[in-house]
Structure 1
Amino acid sequence: MTEPADPQAGRPQLLGATGPFMFSPLGWTMDLFADAGFTGVEVLFSHNAETRDSDKICNFAREAGLSVPVVHGPYMLFLRNVFSSHYVEKSRRSLELADEVGATTLVAHAPLRWERAHADWARSGAADEAAERHLRFAMENLYPVWGLDFSSVVRPDELGRYRHVVFDTSHFAVTGVDLFEAWHALGDRVVHLHVSNNLGNGKDSHAPLDTGVLPIDRFLAHVGRSGYTGTITLELDVRPYGDDRAGLVDFLAGEHAKAERWLRGDLPSRDAPPDPAAALVASKLELDETGVGVRAGPPSGWAPGGAR
């Protein structure tokens, strides 16, 4: 599905990430993002069967008035057996479902450093197979865990070997890579961004946009000036809100509004007071080493198609 179109044609489209809500009904999650002002979502294929059913994905998105231009393959360790544990088979099934949904970009993770048999296919064959479906197989930069580079794509030079790339700000923070230098090196290959701040604690903290060690405001202004018109997913930790739907909507709407302003170059004053919703999230963030746990759930009694 390609509709509805983004009302801000010619500018980047901001997407919500369903990954943090992988244990929640997909329809509830899409309704949440619609109420927060998003026009589209990035769907993570996960253990939740709804996220692997193209009809349900399209129907929920249509009911919420959202587009699904980007999907994320199940490459995380905790999703190892979703579709297949074999890298190429997992990727091909992800491309097939992405095609059925009508997405234009599949977010992928590279094979681990010792999975050399799959590395050549990921660098060349995958992009060709995706192109046959009018899709982009876009490689995301990962980050060291316990000081070790398990992934074969961590630094900009490694990411630059791929035709299309996904630029993750929090991952570059963990790796110690300057965002502006990375953008200069990769900008012509970037087709999608994962944007969040980072608390600087060596973990992938997915912090609120204005809370952390990264100059996300200046970086998004730079991206806006560059002429980039692709997609950007706000990939944020929402655990502090639990099942507080109203709080989630307020927080996500606030982050969406910030990102839109900063992309236009409307930067905050140095004397501006902190955002209380973002401060609440930042004060409670404690991610485990896998970066998982960014979850929230629907209130009891929610049903697909119900009133938002």
Structure 2
Amino acid sequence: MVRIPDAKVALSTASVYPESTATAFEIAARLGYDGVEVMVWTDPVSQDIEALRRLSDYHQVPVLAVHAPCLLITQRVWSTDPWVKLQRARAAAEKLGASTVVVHPPFRWQRGYARDFVRGIWRMAEETDVRFAVENMYPWRYRDREMLAYAPDWDVTKDDYRHFTVDLSHTSTARTDALAMIDRMGDRLAHIHLADGNGSAKDEHLVPGRGKQPCAEVLERLATRGFDGHVVIEVNTRRAMSTAEREADLAEALAFTRLHLASPTGVPRP
């Protein structure tokens, strides 16, 4: 006998890059994912709420989360003002029925934004039922040099947020203990980006089970706790030589996640 937690397993639209946001909905429906997380970036469809709603309705795949445009390549998407970006992400989540907005901590050069970030995220969280889940990042490394690119800190558990996202590719790049991090996050852990890594300075986003991160152990621990957030497959399939190979990777990731989210009944919750 096993007990399956209420957590839904979603596909990040970033997992099909360089294919389109529309392709992600199609693949998620075909493979049996519970929904998608929309990465808002340079693909115009990812920025268009009505287009996303049509895709969701057509494929019968709900949008479970919206990833705000926080990347270097999205600095001009949905405004150059980072607070406007978050307001638009919240509006998109509310209109699409998504429960979560994923947001990165600010870059250090965004000084005003960084200075008010913790207080500002709390203010925004109090204005909506949408959860702002702040994601752990990592130091940037080049050869033997390390640069702290995020503020207040890449380790978001050092600050007071209502909700967290843990990304296991980022714990790999940061060379930090993923299990210890989710324990520090405790009940405020609302969202998972599931991927693997080998501790490279590059953010690898490998298919779960192909690296050295404790992906299975993390899922099993969450299952025993009755985790009811979202587990999002966010992997890099750019090297796939064909659509079939990309879909095989994403099917493998989904099977791995469902397997390890199943926990034996009767296991006491820690």
TM-score normalised by structure 2 residue count: 0.88
Which runs of structure 2 are paired with 1:170-185 in the superposition (5 Å)? 170-185=169-184
- Work out which of the residue numbers 101, 104, 108 in structure 2 matches 1:106: 101
Show the counterpart of 2:259.
Answer: 261
User: What is the CA-CA distance between 1:143 and the residue it aligns to?
Assistant: 0.8
Conserved 8 A contact 1:141-1:168: yes
Percent identity between matched residues is 26
- Work out which of the residue numbers 118, 128, 144 in structure 2 matches 1:133: 128
Question: Which stretches in structure 1 are left out of the alignment for 5+ residues?
Answer: 1-7, 267-308
Question: Which stretches in structure 2 are left out of the alignment for 5+ residues?
Answer: 265-270
Conserved 8 A contact 2:139-2:148: yes
Decide which moves more: 208-217 or 111-120: 111-120
Which runs of structure 2 are paired with 1:62-141 in the superposition (5 Å)? 62-141=57-136
Q: Which amino acid aligns with 2:111?
A: R
Conserved 8 A contact 1:44-1:51: yes
Show the counterpart of 1:233.
Answer: 232
Conserved 8 A contact 2:166-2:191: yes
User: What is the CA-CA distance between 1:114 and the residue it aligns to?
Assistant: 4.0
Q: For the residues of structure 2 that align with 1:90 and 1:192, how far apart are their CA atoms?
A: 20
Q: Kindly indicate whether residue 155 of structure 2 is the aligned counterpart of residue 155 of structure 1.
A: yes
User: What is the CA-CA distance between 1:23 and the residue it aligns to?
Assistant: 4.7
User: What is the CA-CA distance between 1:199 and the residue it aligns to?
Assistant: 2.0
Moved over 6 A (4+): none
Give aligned pairs, total. 257
Which runs of structure 2 are paired with 1:236-251 in the superposition (5 Å)? 236-242=235-241, 244-251=242-249
Deviations 1:22-67 (A, max 9, x none): 5534322211111122120000111211111111111101211211
Q: Indicate how the Cα distance of structure 1 residues 149 and 235 shifts in structure 2: closer, same or farther if over 3 A, else same.
A: same
Show the counterpart of 2:19.
Answer: 24
Deviations 1:153-195 (A, max 9, x none): 312533x421111111111111121111111110211110111
Conserved 8 A contact 1:123-1:163: no
Q: Which amino acid aligns with 2:184?
A: A
Q: Indicate how the Cα distance of structure 1 residues 210 and 23 shifts in structure 2: closer, same or farther if over 3 A, else same.
A: closer
Show the counterpart of 2:250.
Answer: 252
Deviations 1:92-143 (A, max 9, x none): 2222222222211110111123433223542123333244232111111111
Conserved 8 A contact 2:105-2:150: yes
Q: Which amino acid aligns with 2:185?
A: L
Q: Which amino acid aligns with 2:9?
A: L
Q: Could you say which structure has the higher strand fraction?
A: 2
Q: For the residues of structure 2 that align with 1:13 and 1:48, how far apart are their CA atoms?
A: 25
Show the counterpart of 2:267.
Answer: none
Q: Indicate how the Cα distance of structure 1 residues 204 and 190 shifts in structure 2: closer, same or farther if over 3 A, else same.
A: same
Q: For the residues of structure 1 that align with 2:258 and 2:123, how far apart are their CA atoms?
A: 33
Show the counterpart of 2:268.
Answer: none
User: What is the CA-CA distance between 1:202 and the residue it aligns to?
Assistant: 2.0
